[in-house]
Amino acid sequence: MRVIHNAPASAEPGLIPVASYARTSEDFRKRDSHGVNNQHRINERSARAHGCVVVAMYTDNGRGASRPGSERPGFDQLLADLKKGIVYEGKPLRGVVSVADDRLYRRVEDFARFFEALTCRPGRVQVDQDGIRDPHTKEALLHAVRSLAAAGAETESRSRRVRDWHWSRAVDGMPHSGPRPFGWQEDRITLHPVEAALVRSAIEGRLNGKAVRAVAREWRELGVTGTRGGLPKAQTVTQIITAPRVCGYRANHGTLLLDPDSGSPIVGQWEPIVSPEQWRAVCATFEAGSRSALRGGGAPGRTGEKATPRYPASGFLRCGAELAGGGACDQKLGGGKGRSARSPYTYACKFCGRCAVSGPLVDRAIEELLFPTSGAGRVRLPRAIEQRWKSGEMGFDERRKVIASVFTCFVVRPGVKGNQAWDYSRVTPVWKWADRVASPVHAA
Ligand SMILES: [Zn+2]
């Protein structure tokens, strides 16, 4: 692949000039240019975050790095320029940024060539999403060797690349790649004349106090079906009319996307149905729980959440598995059937697949937090509530309301393989009114 010689920014004083390298393998997303463009975009973000500036971009699109003899012209040019320490027009070059080491090398030979070129002069840096490294140190070398050897990290970085792809698409304001959203045509950009009119009138009706159930009934009577053929229910209508996309706003993983520079919401490329003011107004007519979990900035989160939770802690649990690059996975754990009498149901992270926990373990941990058997505890709920909870008198919905009134969520740490004993400390509560309490405690 050719070397792109239009650098996005000239070297600014005080910033370290680095080269952005991007590579996709043969099969990655049919070799379209999104993959490499998004890597470059992420690289610019990483560089900026660590005091660097991208002065040249090198690209190998649709080029594998696993097999010997695979040609990578972009990589070769990068090494040549690194050796000289300058890019075109004589601009200085002092390092490299990539989304991960495996973009640069997967084979020992390439690793050796890369490291030699990078460290042939002092003062060089290597940047990725996790930070900036000094490649001249022994630690950096060990780090590089580890990432070369870490076959286990393969899956991790792959899932991260996919997630970054979504992040980058979202920043672009590109429409979702999922099923066609109700209200738009197959191109996901042009309004569907009939559906868009229905959505608009549903929003206006809601703002005038109309029940979503009534709207759903009208839609069914009109013979309207969802884009996957389902009959509209109240929950469907709620999700459709509170989705940020109705006013053109973009969300990703349940968080309204804000432009990192201006702080304003990122606007998609599709035609909006209503104004942002109308969307905010209609969201405000719903309880937070009825549209979807609130995350970040008080913005309505992802739509398409299951209408009725089936397990006591559904929706309250977040994955505490650590990603290879640091930070927690933080995705919601989903409930499902378990395989043992002791754990007839479980919660698991479907995103990273590294955190699963017994349902009854979680429930008991929550109960102990709510009604501590020893010590004073963090909250004191009325005795009547405790009695009804413990006697089993309290129904499913009310239990969930009690939980929601005390906790924002729970972070669940992955278990230790082979350890059969229940470890309640895996469930860390995030209390509501966290500012009123001293420090986080673990369940029992
Ligand atoms: Zn996870």
101: pLDDT confidence band, cut at 50, 70 and 90? confident
The CA distance from 393 to 38, in Å, is 54
Does 168 lie in the same domain as 38?
yes
**Inside any domain, residue 184:** no
pTM higher than the cut 0.85: no
The CA distance from 345 to 356, in Å, is 11
**Inside any domain, residue 301:** no
24: pLDDT confidence band, cut at 50, 70 and 90? confident
Rounded to the nearest whole angstrom, what is the distance from the C-alpha of residue 432 to the centroid of ligand 1? 23
Rounded to the nearest whole angstrom, what is the distance from the C-alpha of residue 321 to the centroid of ligand 1? 5
The CA distance from 416 to 354, in Å, is 11
Rounded to the nearest whole angstrom, what is the distance from the C-alpha of residue 351 to the centroid of ligand 1? 5
**Inside any domain, residue 179:** no
Rounded to the nearest whole angstrom, what is the distance from the C-alpha of residue 92 to the centroid of ligand 1? 41
Query: CATH no. for residue 263?
Result: 3.90.1750.20
Does 99 lie in the same domain as 37?
yes
Rounded to the nearest whole angstrom, what is the distance from the C-alpha of residue 332 to the centroid of ligand 1? 8
Does 388 lie in the same domain as 256?
no
Rounded to the nearest whole angstrom, what is the distance from the C-alpha of residue 352 to the centroid of ligand 1? 4
Rounded to the nearest whole angstrom, what is the distance from the C-alpha of residue 54 to the centroid of ligand 1? 32
Q: Which comes out higher in pLDDT, residue 81 or 177?
A: 81
287: pLDDT confidence band, cut at 50, 70 and 90? low
The CA-atom distances, in angstroms, between 317 and each of 61, 96, 312, 328, 410 are 39, 38, 10, 13, 5
Rounded to the nearest whole angstrom, what is the distance from the C-alpha of residue 311 to the centroid of ligand 1? 19
Q: Of 226, 256, 291, which residue is a domain's last?
A: 291
Instruction: Give 104-135 pLDDT, tens digit per residue.
Output: 988 778 888 898 899 998 899 999 988 898 98
pLDDT at residue 439, rounded to an integer: 38
Does 399 lie in the same domain as 271?
no
Does 164 lie in the same domain as 22?
yes
**Inside any domain, residue 107:** yes
Rounded to the nearest whole angstrom, what is the distance from the C-alpha of residue 220 to the centroid of ligand 1? 38
Q: Which comes out higher in pLDDT, residue 146 or 8?
A: 146
Does 25 lie in the same domain as 140?
yes
Q: Do 295 and 331 touch, CB atoms closer than 8 A? A: no
Does 158 lie in the same domain as 13?
yes
Query: CATH no. for residue 110?
Result: 3.40.50.1390
Rounded to the nearest whole angstrom, what is the distance from the C-alpha of residue 398 to the centroid of ligand 1? 28
Rounded to the nearest whole angstrom, what is the distance from the C-alpha of residue 335 to the centroid of ligand 1? 13
Main-chain phi, psi angles of 213, to 5 degrees: -60, -40
Of 101, 2, 102, 14, nearest to 56 by C-alpha is 2
Rounded to the nearest whole angstrom, what is the distance from the C-alpha of residue 42 to the centroid of ligand 1? 22
The CA distance from 6 to 55, in Å, is 9
Per DSSP bridges, beta strands 345-348 and 334-337 are antiparallel
pLDDT at residue 167, rounded to an integer: 59
Rounded to the nearest whole angstrom, what is the distance from the C-alpha of residue 358 to the centroid of ligand 1? 15
pLDDT at residue 112, rounded to an integer: 85
Average pLDDT over residues 20-38: 70
The CA distance from 224 to 139, in Å, is 61
Partners of 429 in the β-ladder: 410
Does 157 lie in the same domain as 14?
yes
440: pLDDT confidence band, cut at 50, 70 and 90? very low
pLDDT, the chain, mean = 79
Rounded to the nearest whole angstrom, what is the distance from the C-alpha of residue 315 to the centroid of ligand 1? 14
Q: Which of 75-79, 258-262, 412-416, 433-437 has the lowest mean pLDDT?
A: 433-437
Rounded to the nearest whole angstrom, what is the distance from the C-alpha of residue 276 to the centroid of ligand 1? 32
Q: In the chain, how many domains are there? A: 3
Does 240 lie in the same domain as 98?
no
pLDDT at residue 263, rounded to an integer: 64
Does 333 lie in the same domain as 199?
no
| Residues across the chain | 444
**Inside any domain, residue 24:** yes
Instruction: Give 375-404 pLDDT, tens digit per residue.
Output: 766 777 788 888 888 888 888 888 888 898
**Inside any domain, residue 14:** yes
pLDDT at residue 94, rounded to an integer: 94
**Structure tokens given for 438:** 């001293």
Does 283 lie in the same domain as 352?
no
308: pLDDT confidence band, cut at 50, 70 and 90? low
The domain of 235 spans: 193-291
Of 10, 24, 17, 135, nearest to 74 by C-alpha is 24
**Inside any domain, residue 186:** no
pLDDT at residue 136, rounded to an integer: 87
**Structure tokens given for 291:** 């549209």
pLDDT at residue 171, rounded to an integer: 59
Q: Of 113, 138, 172, which residue is a domain's last?
A: 172
Average pLDDT over residues 20-40: 72
Does 409 lie in the same domain as 270?
no
